[in-house]
Structure 1
Amino acid sequence: MGESWWDFIASELRQARIRTGLSQEDLAKRINYSASHVSGVETGQRPPKADYLAAMDEALSTGGMFGRMLQRASLVEGTPPWLRAWIDSEREATLLRWYEPAYIPGILQTEAYARMTLSDSLLTAEEVDQRVASRLGRQAILTREHPCQVVAVLDAMVLRRPMRNHPELMGEQLAHLVKVAELPHVQILVVPEDTGLYPALQGGFILATLSDGSVLAHLDHQVRAQVVNQPADVGTLQRQWEAVRGEALSRRQSLNLMKEAAQTWT
């Protein structure tokens, strides 16, 4: 097995310390961690977490290099191999159109919501941590210098589905959804409950428009995801998208509905 991203980061942290002429004890004092913590990270016995790497970036004036490494490691190591190709396309996309009838879309989830959706799976605690980090890392497309345009259509039941025995966490999730929906490059639209049956209820999908104008689709199944690039299939999904979006409320109406729903969970 080759070197993992985590091994690579640990090695780079050690090399950065050595280049500055600092001992582990000296570095520990500078970043306000124990020498044993520094040693544990450098030997791979402790995971290099975000707060530690942020302290390293500041202490060594790296311009955020280790933070970027963590984001990339989270995306790669915490993501199933069959999903990595889609994430590369997602990062390249200039426009994402996302329909979701069951859950808050991954790039709009809070950490608590993401963890709850993964906690009932057959994953280990470590795998859940990695998947959560990967999902949150994907949200960088919304906050980078040239953010991706996102239009998400949600079924209203997504706003009503409780997080078992944690209503306050659902309130936090919907408050976050409202905050993101107010970004100029994000539209979150809701199909109201009184719509009844409508096209695409059988499953969510994502359409990604890439920088060259081509369009790919992503379908998420129980076992694995599928990237669709055949023109006929993409065309079918684009027609489904237009039908679903036609059922949704306006941006302003949807925002008001999300705000109302958020209040019910507090």
Structure 2
Amino acid sequence: MNDALRVALGETGHTTESLAERVGVDPKTVGRWLSEGRIPHARHRVSAAEVLGRDVSDIWPDTSRRRDPVWFRPWQEIEREAVALRWFESLVLPGLLQTEAYARAVLTGAGLIPRGDIERHLTTRLNRQGVLRQDDPPQFTAVIDEAVLRRPVGGRGTMHEQLRALIAACAEPHIRVHVVPSSVGAYAGLNGPFVIAQCPDHRLAGYLDNQVHGQVVSDVDDLAAIMAAWENVRGEALSHWQSVDLITEVAETWS
């Protein structure tokens, strides 16, 4: 639990309902802030701290000690509050669906992160997966290329474990995975991975990744181009359950 927030609520006489009303969010959202690892949007942190008469760092000290890249923090805020996420990957599985062993192999194999920082980045990635396990998770739709299932990231054991975990995730009602089969020729996904987030106020934001750092996209024309790419890759992919069948078939080849 976030004991600092719980104590502040008790000392000021506020409840999750009254704080939610003052900040302008749903009471369930404030309830999630009380859970370990749940950090509100920056504007909500400031508003809540003002209502409770505390410094932001007193209630959410981790935000002042964060060592994750500055350029990634805006996307983390968007991802945390999104009501829907659409994610395309052609080379690896989406980070929110990676097992610990698979994620470690990806981070290590990239060769861009100092060895001493691997565990910190791994912890950050695994913690982000909490957005799919919360009480009111976003609708998560992933499209992946079939090559992702067949690339031996981390070795046979890691791949078998990863694909079995992916199959289990596919059984969740808010998670849908679609595979673009290897029989498909040129399609928009060959231009690279991307993520589209739908915010609670219905605005869209995009995220593009490269070898150096990621980029949050908010320009209307750029978002239109990303949405067009999404429609293309989604149109080339198998249905969810056809994809689950393919994932299950490929998982057996890694056993």
* TM-score for both structures, normalised by structure 1: 0.71
**Which contiguous aligned blocks of 4+ residues in structure 1 show a shift greater than 3 angstroms?**
64-70
Question: SS at 1:103's partner residue?
Answer: coil
2:37, 2:127 within 8 Å by CA — same for their partners in 1?
no
Amino acid at match of 2:37: R
State the distance in 1 between where 2:218 and 2:225 align: 11
- Taking only aligned residues, the RMSD between alpha carbons, in angstroms, comes to 2.4
1:202 Cα deviation from its structure 2 partner: 1.9
State the distance in 2 between where 1:109 and 1:190 align: 16
1:78, 1:131 within 8 Å by CA — same for their partners in 2?
no
User: Does 2:104 align with 1:135?
Assistant: no
Amino acid at match of 2:193: G
Match of 2:178 among 183, 189, 194: 189
User: Does 2:108 align with 1:147?
Assistant: no
> Relative to 1, partners in 2 of residues 1:77 and 1:249: Cα closer, same or farther, differing over 3 Å?
same
Percent identity, please: 40
User: Does 2:37 align with 1:68?
Assistant: yes
In the alignment, structure 1 segments of 5+ residues that lack a partner are 1-8, 13-63
For residues 84-163 of structure 1, the aligned pairs below 5 Å read: 84-120=73-109, 121-163=111-153
Cα displacement string for residues 141-198 of structure 1 (whole angstroms, at most 9, x for unaligned residues): 111010111000000000000025x201110011111111110001000000101221
1:100, 1:153 within 8 Å by CA — same for their partners in 2?
yes
Amino acid at match of 2:165: H
1:67 Cα deviation from its structure 2 partner: 4.3
1:78, 1:133 within 8 Å by CA — same for their partners in 2?
no
Name the counterpart of 1:38: none
Name the counterpart of 1:34: none
Name the counterpart of 1:171: 160
Name the counterpart of 1:83: 72
State the distance in 2 between where 1:225 and 1:68 align: 23
Cα displacement string for residues 217-262 of structure 1 (whole angstroms, at most 9, x for unaligned residues): 0000110000000011001110110011000001110010011111
Q: Matched residue pairs, number?
A: 203
Name the counterpart of 2:216: 227
* TM-score for both structures, normalised by structure 2: 0.74
State the distance in 1 between where 2:38 and 2:85 align: 25
Question: SS at 2:142's partner residue?
Answer: strand
Quick check: which has more Rg, 1 or 2? 1
State the distance in 2 between where 1:84 and 1:98 align: 18
Question: SS at 1:193's partner residue?
Answer: coil
